[in-house]
Chain A
């Protein structure tokens, strides 16, 4: 039983990280139909920024994280304003290609600047853990869950109750109509990238926590969040979060319990298999809505 609980907890914590990544993807996609292939790169930058501020300066860890979040959000917005705004109106795959270009740049620049060896994250938790009834709960992972919950709560308050949240939903529903009634669509785009950047910083921070460390291959993890987006349904941030957690739990549970005839490391594709099975039954994900098209 403790084995199951241990696996479940780790999976849940990993799922929270996936949820953050999926949220970042979904926010941008909802606003502009762009699949941001640079999300993994943003995760990577987030982890390294935290590492640089936390180990390179005497700032307290919380301040370092706040700085990293702000810087990454600002960076994401700058990218959107300087580069993507020039191609507004172009087919969506053009913007997707640009994000692919950005991810190539990031993946090469990080080892170029920081070297390929792992760094210290500089977090105060390290390897410390809480031991509850035979189950080990690393503090890093506990904080990952807490912070994710806070971020999500904050996001939902923003989404439902603030003007910009409304603006984002309006833009997602129908961009032209929203612009026609005065919704500041450009600002909505910028905002969606800022949120994605901030969320990526948080995701990167926890991803690089114990027992991992900031190293150049962290960005690949973002790919694993894709099933989360689909599972939850593309236009539902709640769905992205639920999807992320489900994916994380499935992945870790499978790695613990999968029989060997499924092949080595079946846990790596278990999320995709699950996603495909769900799509057979519900082609728009668990929470997604069927789009209505006007002929």
Chain B
């Protein structure tokens, strides 16, 4: 398992896209903190950039990487190696290298400019988001043999979770604004990993006071340590469940 993971990591790190991704993240993070005097504002701008780009790059890169590895996978399956080892190694390799890019790009400037809990939260949620979208990408890649279709599914998933989902939530809010919908709203929001990550960081920055009654409810539920554990638990489920489904499918896949 270690050897194959090593091969995967070495292979990904040789890829120039990962290098560019790291550089772009670094440029964003350094410029955001250099331009803003107020670190809280800097954190919010950075958060928006991260929550848009990190999922997109993670899901597309991992998805294409999985399709390009089909020969590698086929070769390994004909050798005395457990399919479980192959699948886990690919996942670990992607997780390690994508998170490494994120830590170098975003982690270093964040720890320099915001060396407190907020900074730690940005990095941790960013890493969780990266891992979640790798897990989803692996699932998308095994749902279809056709590369174009697989990448299409991945893009649609990203689009749904970043844009469409929030649109639907807003629509629902306006439709049911006469009813006490704050609590159902919390549940609906918690089901989307990107919204969950946003709330986790926002609560640390303490701008929830500006968000009115809903903000207060969010603070009340997610601000406690219990709420925090639930949020982390939900993020972990977003990693584990897609991975387990993809692994189940891979175990019975004909190559």
Q: Do the two shown chains form a genuine complex with each other?
A: no
Query: Which residues of A does B touch, CB under 8 Å?
Result: none
Query: Which residues of B does A touch, CB under 8 Å?
Result: none
